[in-house]
A and B are shown apart, each in its own frame.
Chain A
C-alpha cells in the first residue's frame, strides 16, 4: 500500500511517463514496484506479439480452414491481448487506486497464497499450460495426426525443427504433446468437477443427517475405497467401450469417495456450531441448511482436495491411455504417446520421454497449487 500512496503523490511529476507506460503492459505496475504483476503482464503481451509476428500465416489460416480449434486459439489470443493491455491501461491511466484491502476470508486466503512463492510458481505453470493448449494450432507448424513421409521424417531426434523429435509415423512429438495436453487437462477438469460435486453432496448428506444415512453412505464409500482405483476403472471401462466420454464419466464416478470423506468430517464438526443450530431453530429444511450454510463453509477443504485431485486424475488418465483404455489413437493423449514410443524405446527415446516430462510438470504444478491452497485455506492441515 505504501507504494500506491507514494505513486499518488508523484503523479503530477511523472504523468507523461505513466501515459507512455500505458502502451507497454505491465510497465505501470513495474513503475509502482509491483514486479510480479508487471512482469507477468509484460510476458503475456510479448507472447501475443510473438505469436502474431512468427505465426501470422497460421493466424490468417483461421479464416480459411474454419476449424474449431483455430477459432478457439484466435479467441484466446485476442483475450490474452485484451487482458494484457486492458489491465496495463487501467493501471497506467486510472492511476494507483486505493486498492481495497480485502478482509473477507477469500481475500485473506489469496494474500496468504500469493505470499507462497512455490505455489505462485505452480499457478504460473498451470496458466502457461492452459494457454499453450488453447493456442496449440498457432504454436506449431505441424498437424498432430498427419502421418509424415516415412522415409525422411521417421524417428528424427530432437532438433530445432522438431523440438521433441518425431515418432514412428514421422509425426512431430512436440505437436502431439501439445494437442495431447488438451485431453489430459480437460478430462481432468471435467472429471474433477463431477467427482467433487458428487462427493460434496454425499459427504454433506452423510454428515448432516447422520445415523442410518451416514452408516449406509460411509459403508458405500469404504467399499469404493477398497478397490484399487485403476483396477475398478479398468474393469468398468473394459466392459463399456473405451472413449473420452466413458473415461470422463467413469473417472468422475469413481473418484468421489475421498471428497465425500473430507466433507463429511467438516460437516460433522460444523453441525454442532451455533449458526447451524440457529438455522435449524428457525425451522429451515435440511436441504436448505446444507446448501446455504454448510456447503459454503466446506468449500475451502473441497477446493484443496479438487486441486490435488486434478493432479491425481491426470496421472490416472495417463495410465488408462497408456493401456489403451482412454482416448484411442491417432488422437494424441500423453499416455498413448508414451505407449506408442515404447516399441522403439531404445532407438527413439524421445517419443516416450517428453510426454512423460509433460505429465510430471503438469502434476507438479497442480500439487504446488494444491499445497499452497491448503496452507492458505485450511491451515489445520498444513504440512
Chain B
C-alpha cells in the first residue's frame, strides 16, 4: 500500500513538470514576448525594459525556462498587475472558497448520483427508471452557467413574490455571505454560508451527478448479475444488505476512478458558476484577471487548477486502492 502510494507520488512529479512547461510554452507562443502582457497605459517603456532585464528575457530560452521552473517550484508566482500584491497572497484567499464550492458539489454529485444509480439499477425497466434516465439526459446536457441563471431567476427572485413560499427556500442570488454576516452569531453565520452555498453547488454539480447516476446504474446492473450476489442471497441476507453491502462496494470501484475525471470538469464548471454567482473563488479571480488583462494572475490560476487536478487524481488512485483489496495487496 505504501509503495503503491509512493509510486503514484513519483509519477506525479514529471506530470507537474510538464504542466509548468506547458504554461511556459503557452506564454511564449503568445504573440509578442511575455512583457507584451504588461504593456498597458501607465506603464512606461523604461519599466518594460527593466522587466525584460529582471525576467532575463534577453537571456537564451533554456536559461529562461530554468528560472521559470525555479520560481514556480519555489512557490513564487509573481505579482498581480491590478492588485499590486503577490499572487500567492491573492490565491491564498481565493483557493479555500473554490474548494468549499467544489467540495459541496462533489458531495452532492456522488451522494445523489450514487443513490439514484442504485435506485435505477434495483428497479431496472420500471417507469421510475425510465423517468430518471430521461431526466439525467437533460441534466447532463445542460450548461452549468445557464442552470445557475435559471436557479437565480426562480429560487432567488421569482419566489420572493410568493407569500406562502418558505423563507428558507428563498436563496441569495450571489456572494458567499449576506450583507449582515459580520453581525450574526456563530450558528447564524454557518446557516448563512450554507444558504449561499446551495444554488451554486447545485448549478455546478447537477450535470455531473446525472452522469454519475448513469455510470452507477450500469455498474450496479453489472454487479447484480455476479455469482457472489447469488451467494449473498443464498445466505439469507435481506435484499437491503445484499444491495448496500455486497453489491454497492463492488459497484463503487469503477465510480471511484471517475472521481479523477470529474475534478477537471468540476473546476471548469467552477469558473463559470463562480462568475454567475459572484463567488470569490479562483475561477472568478481568473475571469476578472482576463478582463483586466492581468496575465500573471491568469497563468498562476491555470497552474494551480492543474496542480489540484493532479492531486485529485492521486487521491482517487489511493481511494481506489483502499476500496479494492486486490490492488492493496498487489
Instruction: Tell me which residues from 127 to 174 in chain B have a Cβ below 8 Å from any Cβ of chain A.
Output: 137-138, 140-147, 149-150, 152-153, 157-158
Question: CB of B272 within 8 A of chain A?
Answer: yes
Question: CB of B110 within 8 A of chain A?
Answer: no
Complex partner residue of B157 from A228, A240, A311, A346, CB under 8 angstroms = A346
Give Cα distance in the complex from A227 to B308, angstroms: 9
Most buried by B among A228, A352, A359, A368: A228
Of the candidate stretches A65-73, A218-226, A274-282, the one touching chain B is A218-226
> How far, in Å, is B36 (CB) from chain A's closest CB?
9
* Nearest residue, chain B, Cβ from A342: B149
Give Cα distance in the complex from A318 to B272, angstroms: 11
Question: CB of B325 within 8 A of chain A?
Answer: no
Question: CB of B81 within 8 A of chain A?
Answer: no
Dominant SS among interface residues on chain B:
helix
Question: CB of A353 within 8 A of chain B?
Answer: yes
With A226-B309, A236-B26, A240-B30: A345-B264 Cβ-Cβ less than 8 Å: no
> How far, in Å, is A337 (CB) from chain B's closest CB?
11
CB distance A235 to B302 under 8 Å?
yes
Interface string of B257-288 (1 = CB under 8 A from A): 00000011111111110011000000000110
Interface residues on B, range: 35 or more
CB distance A356 to B143 under 8 Å?
yes
With A220-B18, A323-B272, A360-B138: A349-B153 Cβ-Cβ less than 8 Å: yes
CB distance B286 to A356 under 8 Å?
no
> How far, in Å, is B8 (CB) from chain A's closest CB?
13
Of the candidate stretches B71-79, B241-249, B293-301, the one touching chain A is B293-301
CB distance B145 to A227 under 8 Å?
no
Q: Which residues of A contact B143 (CB under 8 A)?
A: 315, 318-319, 322, 335, 356, 359-360
CB distance A229 to B271 under 8 Å?
no
Q: Which residues of B contact A356 (CB under 8 A)?
A: 142-143, 146-147, 149-150
Interface residues on A, range: 35 or more
* Nearest residue, chain B, Cβ from A359: B143
Q: Which residues of B contact A311 (CB under 8 A)?
A: 141
> How far, in Å, is A356 (CB) from chain B's closest CB?
4
Q: Which residues of B contact A325 (CB under 8 A)?
A: 290
CB distance B141 to A360 under 8 Å?
yes
CB distance A367 to B141 under 8 Å?
yes
Instruction: Tell me which residues from 111 to 155 in chain A have a Cβ below 8 Å from any Cβ of chain B.
Output: none
Question: CB of B57 within 8 A of chain A?
Answer: no
CB distance A338 to B146 under 8 Å?
yes
Complex partner residue of B137 from A235, A316, A364, CB under 8 angstroms = A364
Give Cα distance in the complex from A269 to B255, angstroms: 24
Question: CB of B218 within 8 A of chain A?
Answer: yes
With A225-B264, A235-B302: A359-B137 Cβ-Cβ less than 8 Å: no
CB distance B305 to A319 under 8 Å?
no
* Nearest residue, chain A, Cβ from B215: A383
With A223-B22, A231-B267, A349-B153: A239-B27 Cβ-Cβ less than 8 Å: yes
Q: Which residues of B contact A349 (CB under 8 A)?
A: 153
Give Cα distance in the complex from A228 to B264, angstroms: 4
Q: Which residues of A contact B269 (CB under 8 A)?
A: 230
Give Cα distance in the complex from A90 to B237, angstroms: 64
CB distance B271 to A234 under 8 Å?
yes
Q: Which residues of B contact A287 (CB under 8 A)?
A: none
CB distance B268 to A223 under 8 Å?
no
CB distance B218 to A345 under 8 Å?
no
> How far, in Å, is A323 (CB) from chain B's closest CB?
6
Give Cα distance in the complex from A234 to B140, angstroms: 22
Question: CB of A363 within 8 A of chain B?
Answer: yes
Interface string of A332-376 (1 = CB under 8 A from B): 000100100010011001001100100110011001100000000
Give Cα distance in the complex from A359 to B295, angstroms: 31
Q: Which residues of B contact A367 (CB under 8 A)?
A: 137, 140-141
Question: CB of A232 within 8 A of chain B?
Answer: yes
Most buried by B among A219, A230, A360: A230
CB distance B18 to A223 under 8 Å?
yes
Question: CB of A8 within 8 A of chain B?
Answer: no
Question: CB of B194 within 8 A of chain A?
Answer: no
Give Cα distance in the complex from A363 to B144, angstroms: 13
Question: CB of A47 within 8 A of chain B?
Answer: no
Residues on B lying within 8 angstroms of A by beta carbon are 14-15, 18-19, 22-23, 26-27, 30-31, 37, 137-138, 140-147, 149-150, 152-153, 157-158, 214-215, 217-218, 263-272, 275-276, 286-287, 290, 295, 298-299, 301-302, 305-306, 309-310, 313
